[in-house]
Amino acid sequence: MNDPKLLEGIRVVDMTSVIFGPYATQTLADCGADVIKVESPTGDQFRSAGKPANNRGMGACHMTLNRGKRSIVLDLKDEDDRAVMRDLLTTADVFIHNVRAHAIEKLGFGYDAVREFAPDIAYVHCTGFGSDGPYAPLQAYDDVIQAASGMTSMLPRADDNPAPRFVPAAIADKVSGLHAAYATLTAVIHKLRTGEGQFVEVPMFESFTHFSLEEHLYGATFDPPVESIVYKRQAEPTRQPFPTADGHVAIVPYTDADWGKLLTVLGDPEFVEKEPYDTPLGRFRNQPDIFRRIAELTPAKTSAEWTRLLNEVRIPCMPCRDVADIFDDPHLKATGFFKRREHPSEGGFIEMQPPVRFGARPDAELGYAPRLDEHGDEIRAELAARKTVRRAS
């Protein structure tokens, strides 16, 4: 008999879509929770993201975000399907969704309605903005949150281009998804300890602002402020990858002692021995000058040479690679991070392994992304069997 999965026995009814919520529930599914993805008849719109021709809504982003889940189609405007949804929620530990409050209440699945028939449920609402603020009714997507949180002002602080810009990743969605994952697990642990359900709100705006300001609140942490907002080291324009003979490298002289070691390897140890760089305070205050000097020295060798030489003296250094070359990374190859698998209906695909390893279950088997309504009949049969057992008892 196989050992139980880490979250085996925990059932999550997942009515989220796109990235924010699905990233949270993918994390739970990877850990063994039974995640039932409830979709409308047209399916999660993100099924088409990265979609090749004729793949039946099994796009690339769906393959990564919804692995290990079971899919059932329910039209919650139909009373029969609403009845199925109510039955399903009575079997669940968690109900998580990203439907706006007025819409979910109109469908009959707001928190007050659900706790009438599932009083111990952990009800997790993934929202754009906190419900007690003026932005509460607004729609939110990753770009909107990057703009509202101030993230679009970060790149202009680090270069000469004053135009606000997005980080080219769905960073707000994914950060908020991780907040939703730990929020869900916390509510489940509380339920297991006390038998008590609860309403949990995970707003994207607040989650991402909290994430980005952990270091960037900086001088504004104190009242009155002791310095301006934004952690200066992160926004220093000269703190950029350094050019090499064949590309660029990232070098991080993090402690004061690292400066001397670094400049010695680079061939100019005298630079930090002369004023104003000859004291810790002088080096701290004049880092831009030191970074400029490093950039003048690094073109003397290749990225591979600097990476080897600097890591030998414990100065963190890695080559800057194009994201398309990530499959060739020797470390990720050695750890088996990328794995080629065969999907039952979609054929070969590349799967990233969960980054967190659990010693109790080190080789967890991951499920596949479901076809739309792939498990509908199966789930309906389970609910019918449960009803039969209840009537018999």
In order, the DSSP letters of 102-166 are HHHHHHT-SHHHHHHH-TT-EEEEEESS-TTSTTTTS---HHHHHHHHTGGGHHHHHSS--S---
Mean pLDDT, residues 323-348 taken together: 96
Q: Give me the residue label for tokens 């994207």.
A: 204
Mean pLDDT, residues 220-233 taken together: 92
Q: Give me the residue label for tokens 């279950």.
A: 361
Nearest by Cα to 89 from 5, 203, 197: 197
Q: Is the pLDDT of residue 50 over 90?
A: no
Domain 11-212+354-392 fold: Rossmann fold (3.40.50)
Q: Write out the H or E segment, with its range, that includes residue 243.
A: strand 242-243
Mean pLDDT, residues 23-36 taken together: 97
Cα distances from 58 to residues 21, 106, 143, 345, 366, in angstroms, run 18, 30, 25, 9, 17
Nearest by Cα to 244 from 310, 334, 336, 166: 310
What letter represents residue 65's amino acid?
Answer: L
Mean pLDDT, residues 287-306 taken together: 97
Q: Is the pLDDT of residue 390 over 90?
A: no
> Which sequence spans correspond to the domains of the chain?
11-212+354-392, 242-319
Tokens of 247: 């590309």
Would you tell me how many other CB atoms lie within 10 Å of the CB of residue 183?
Answer: 19
Counting Cα atoms < 13 Å in the Cβ hemisphere of 215 gives 7
Mean pLDDT, residues 152-175 taken together: 95
**Tens digits of residue pLDDT in 264-294:** 999 999 999 999 999 999 998 999 999 999 9
Mean pLDDT, residues 19-35 taken together: 97
- Looking at every residue in the chain, the average pLDDT score rounds to 95
- Residue 280 CB contacts under 8 Å (≥ 6 apart), including other chains: 256
**Separation of alpha carbons 10 and 66, rounded Å:** 17
Reported as a pLDDT band with limits 50, 70 and 90, residue 327 is very high
Q: What is the pLDDT of residue 3?
A: 81
Q: Is the pLDDT of residue 2 over 80?
A: no
Mean pLDDT, residues 33-62 taken together: 90
- Residue 83 CB contacts under 8 Å (≥ 6 apart), including other chains: none
**Separation of alpha carbons 99 and 372, rounded Å:** 19
Mean pLDDT, residues 199-223 taken together: 97
The answer to whether the beta carbons of residues 165 and 155 sit under 8 Å apart is yes
Helix, strand or coil, per DSSP, at residue 37: strand
Q: Is the pLDDT of residue 337 over 70?
A: yes
Q: What is the pLDDT of residue 364?
A: 80
Q: What is the pLDDT of residue 238?
A: 92
Q: What is the pLDDT of residue 387?
A: 85
DSSP per-residue string spanning 265-296: HHT-GGGGGSTTSSSHHHHHHTHHHHHHHHHH
Q: Is the pLDDT of residue 1 over 90?
A: no
Mean pLDDT, residues 335-345 taken together: 96
For the domain 242-319, what is the CATH code? Answer: 3.30.1540.10
Q: Give me the residue label for tokens 């739309």.
A: 372
Q: Is the pLDDT of residue 46 over 60?
A: yes
Tokens of 13: 């009814």
The answer to whether the beta carbons of residues 341 and 324 sit under 8 Å apart is no
Percent of the chain with pLDDT over 90: 92
Q: Is the pLDDT of residue 71 over 90?
A: yes
**Tens digits of residue pLDDT in 106-148:** 999 999 999 999 999 999 999 999 999 999 999 999 999 999 9
Reported as a pLDDT band with limits 50, 70 and 90, residue 53 is low
Would you tell me how many other CB atoms lie within 10 Å of the CB of residue 258?
Answer: 18
Percent of the chain with pLDDT over 70: 99
**Separation of alpha carbons 169 and 176, rounded Å:** 13
Question: Is the four-CA dihedral 284, 286, 291, 296 of positive or negative sign?
Answer: negative
Q: What is the pLDDT of residue 90?
A: 98
Query: Based on C-alpha coordinates, what's the Rg of the chain?
Result: 26
